[in-house]
Amino acid sequence: MRATTDNGLLAPVPDADGAPFWDFAARGELRIQICSDCREPRFPPRPCCPKCHSFTSSWRLTSGTGHIWSYVRPHPPLLPGYAAHAPYNVVLVELADAPGIRLVGNLVASPDAEIDSAAPEDLRIGAAVRAVFPRVQGMALPRWTPERS
Ligand SMILES: [Zn+2]
């Protein structure tokens, strides 16, 4: 698997523990790994529960909603594919139904929009967001759009 997409952005390289996350994303589902013994959610996926040390787990479907817990707007020097979009955003999203579980991604204006497409007023800590699953080089890559109420 290539490490970059056609436009020079880094592509995920799933490992054995994370492969189910990407398979569910391909179906438009945001699932997180939970411990089968103590029910503790964990992300990123890994073999052992950090709370009870169990090696059994399953994948819980989430609502795909959350809020921006933090964000950055990277500026050059950047990899060439990212420099073309600077300044873009990188958001850290805490899931609504799994407090403490935070995923890194990009806030975009619409599912297939570029990583520099979000309106500045939508990029704020606490803003409600929803996962979307655009196809990037044949792979569903979760990103976030503003949740309109
Ligand atoms: Zn556990």
Domain boundaries, position 67: 63-149
From ligand 1's centre to the CA of 88, what distance in Å?
37
Residue 7 lies in a domain: no
Q: Are residues 67 and 139 in the same domain?
A: yes
Q: Are residues 74 and 102 in the same domain?
A: yes
Q: Are residues 31 and 82 in the same domain?
A: no
Residue 6 lies in a domain: no
Residue 5 lies in a domain: no
From ligand 1's centre to the CA of 34, what distance in Å?
8
pLDDT tens readout for residues 117-144? 999 999 999 999 999 999 987 889 999 9
Q: Which run of H or E residues covers position 57?
A: strand 57-61
What's the domain count of the chain?
A: 2
Residue 106 lies in a domain: yes
pTM of the model: 0.92
pLDDT tens readout for residues 19-45? 999 999 999 999 999 999 999 999 999
From ligand 1's centre to the CA of 56, what distance in Å?
8
Distance (Å, rounded) from C-alpha 91 to C-alpha 68? 6
From ligand 1's centre to the CA of 47, what distance in Å?
11
Residue 8 lies in a domain: no
